Amino acid sequence: MSEMSNNFDNDTECSRGDESDQPQPMAYMDDGGAGRINFKGRMIEDRDWYSLCQLLQRLFMQAHINCMKMADLIIAQNFLGSVIYQCETDGNGSGIENDEDSIVFGIITILNMTAKKDLPCIQQLHTFIMQSAEKYATEDVLKKFDNILSDTSRPVGFLIYERLVNIPADISIGLLENLQAEIMLAQQKGMKFGFAYYLMIIKLYRREAKNGKPKEYFYTNVEEEFFAHKAISSFEYSMIDDSGDWLDGEDAPPPYRKILLFEADQIPSIIDELREKIEESK
């Protein structure tokens, strides 16, 4: 495997607001030019529906999954998760509103695949996962996915983390910490958000072994490699038929998706390892 990509050199700051137990809004700033670009995390709102559909379509591409219904489901549980949007700031750090404030640049949330297994969009997701595993995974991996997704006694959460690549990677620390806090609050209120496993779909490029060089992986969002390392089972499939004009020349590695399962209690260690990598890169 190739060395982990380093996208952490952005000069970013995080403002978490007050120190209450409630999850707090986040702000991440990229210091470039006269106006600072401020990436903010906020609660998911009804106005985000169209942007959520687009982000989900980027993730699933031509898979037969109703992204509109899944966006409805995400908004219906808007107490859980965040969207990322941007605004400019003046020299005093005050926000300057612009037409892009309502454009969503990323989403992090989690859907309970076990508790909501009878909803059509979750059924479509389950079918897509298992059909993909039958086609691309080994027999052992297929059996592992089938056993875990079929075991209603150990709930599986579908962790949706989709963002544009030009956003600093260290935004994921605040997003993950905020999501963890929101999950804990939901559990304290008796909601069904206690998970044994997380399922996640991540994007990468893969260059096959050639001329004595080993197979190489290039993750679209660098932090997703940390999730991949924690997977107890995973498989990949090519997106080259869906890529259109993405490929930049004959030498460009083709796009892939990796579907992985990891234990839910691994999130804190993923956050710690990611934070350590960021600190090393500063």
pTM of the full structure: 0.82
Report phi then psi at 15, rounded to 5: -110, 115
CA distance 16 to 23: 9
**Do 41 and 94 meet the contact criterion of CB atoms below 8 Å apart?**
no
> What residue has token string 């350590």?
276
| pLDDT reading at 122 higher than 90 | yes
**Do 258 and 234 meet the contact criterion of CB atoms below 8 Å apart?**
yes
pLDDT single digits (tens) 133-171? 999 999 999 999 999 999 999 999 999 999 887 777 888
DSSP 186-200: HHHTT-S---SEEEE
Beta bridge partners of 85: 40
> Residues 108-131, buried b or exposed e (16+ Cβ, 10 A)?
bbbbbbbbbbebebbebbbebbbe
pLDDT single digits (tens) 12-40? 333 323 333 333 334 444 444 444 567 77
**Do 141 and 232 meet the contact criterion of CB atoms below 8 Å apart?**
no
Q: Indicate the domain borders of the chain.
A: 109-241+251-281
C-beta atoms surrounding 183 within 10 Å: 21
CA distance 251 to 273: 32
Q: Specify the 3-state DSSP secondary structure of 110.
A: strand
pLDDT of residue 250: 57
Amino acid at 33: G
CA distance 221 to 209: 22
**Do 123 and 69 meet the contact criterion of CB atoms below 8 Å apart?**
no
pLDDT single digits (tens) 87-117? 666 555 555 545 455 688 999 999 999 999 9
pLDDT of residue 92: 54
Tokens of 4: 């982990």
| pLDDT reading at 60 higher than 80 | yes
Amino acid at 185: L
| pLDDT reading at 54 higher than 90 | yes
CA distance 186 to 201: 24
Give, rounded to a whole angstrom, the gap between the first and last alpha carbons of the chain: 24
CA distance 221 to 202: 8
